[in-house]
Structure 1
Amino acid sequence: MDPLQGLVRIGPLLFRAALGRGGLTSRKREGDGATPFARMPVLAGFRRAGMPDRDNAGLRLSRVGSRDGWCDAPTHPSYNRAVRLPFRASHETLLRDDVLYDFGFVLDWNLRSRRRGLGSAIFLHVAKPGHPPTEGCIALSRRDMLVAMPLLRRGTVVQVM
């Protein structure tokens, strides 16, 4: 199997997933492009604002628009937190031109016990066709995401196998 793809367990189900361009790691660092080898509980979810699709998620998904971002600057006080744009420090924009963040789930990687530089923004999101590598997130096909979403509640563990 491709080392940049893997199997992900969500509840009783297994899904094929795209992993980070840096592969799997037990020593995650900001910017390494790797997916942490960890059991990561779901903390929250989001979806693109204005989409007509029903999401059937197990938790309420916040709607993201053009002012929503996520800070990935390790020296900033908002590191690994949602931020409002415009934002001066390094960040990721949550409203994308592609489908990757049509649905996304914030996984507890370096969030509840946050430490600077240990990696930020590990999301479960929609994969590009063919499952090419992510920047460190876990990505499922849109079809698999829609199947998994009813299982995704606060605390549901997402585990790379």
Structure 2
Amino acid sequence: MIGTVVPAGATGHLMLGREVYRCALGRGGVRAEKAEGDGATPFGPLPLRRVLFRADRLAPPPCAVPLEPIGPADGWCDDPADPAYNRPVSLPYPGRHEELWRTDGLYDVVGVLGWNDAPVVRGRGSAIFLHVARPDYAPTAGCVALMLPDLLQVLRAGLSGLEVRAG
């Protein structure tokens, strides 16, 4: 099932069937021409490739895509000059990267969205995830974020991707 994301000011709405969920979007808005570091959520189709989760905090969430637990050594390379750009890496890692094992709970559940991954184009953006939102729906660095109960509900409903629309 494909969800539709529609920007609505500084946040947006994810529509899945008849359900509508508030979501946080990138601080740079929604853009068709996404670039590394611009803070924008990419416009267009974003297939859900797999779901990562913190097994020490949650039971495996039911979902329609492959599911993998994450651990303290899991990261994601966001360095356009690195050969592992926009790919998972093991920590410690010498190139610029994000740590997936976070203390703030934002990555307790992470849907890896298919952006700039087939093939990877250096500088076109990395680590575009569907993840847990901050309580105030603060903007993301380019991801789509939902409150944890909503994220679990859309995964349980069989989410297989997002279609992000322009604002």
Counterpart residue type for residue 159 of structure 1: E
1:38/1:86 Cα in 2 relative to 1: closer, same or farther (>3 Å)? Answer: same
> Is structure 2 residue 111 aligned with structure 1 residue 105?
yes
Instruction: State the secondary structure of the residue aligned to 2:155.
Output: helix
Q: Which residue is equivalent to 2:161?
A: 157
> Is structure 2 residue 101 aligned with structure 1 residue 95?
yes
Instruction: State the secondary structure of the residue aligned to 2:156.
Output: helix
TM-score by length of 1: 0.91
Q: Which residue is equivalent to 1:50?
A: 56
Counterpart residue type for residue 56 of structure 1: P
Are 2:49 and 2:66, in contact at CA under 8 Å, matched by a contact in 1? no
Counterpart residue type for residue 125 of structure 1: H
Instruction: State the secondary structure of the residue aligned to 2:153.
Output: helix
Task: For 1:9 and 1:122, locate their aligned partners in 2 and report how far apart those are by CA, in whole Å.
Answer: 19
RMSD: 1.8
Task: For 1:4 and 1:12, locate their aligned partners in 2 and report how far apart those are by CA, in whole Å.
Answer: 23
- Of all paired residues, the percent bearing the same amino acid is 43
Deviations 1:25-44 (A, max 9, x none): 11100001110111100111
> Is structure 2 residue 40 aligned with structure 1 residue 34?
yes
| Structure 1 stretches lacking a partner, 5+ long | none
> Is structure 2 residue 85 aligned with structure 1 residue 79?
yes
TM-score by length of 2: 0.88
Q: Larger deviation: 4-13 or 76-85?
A: 4-13
Task: For 1:11 and 1:125, locate their aligned partners in 2 and report how far apart those are by CA, in whole Å.
Answer: 20
- Give runs of aligned pairs for residues 131-146 of structure 1, distance below 5 A: 131-146=137-152
Counterpart residue type for residue 91 of structure 1: H
Number of residue pairs the alignment of both structures matches: 159
| Structure 2 stretches lacking a partner, 5+ long | 1-6
Task: For 1:52 and 1:115, locate their aligned partners in 2 and report how far apart those are by CA, in whole Å.
Answer: 34
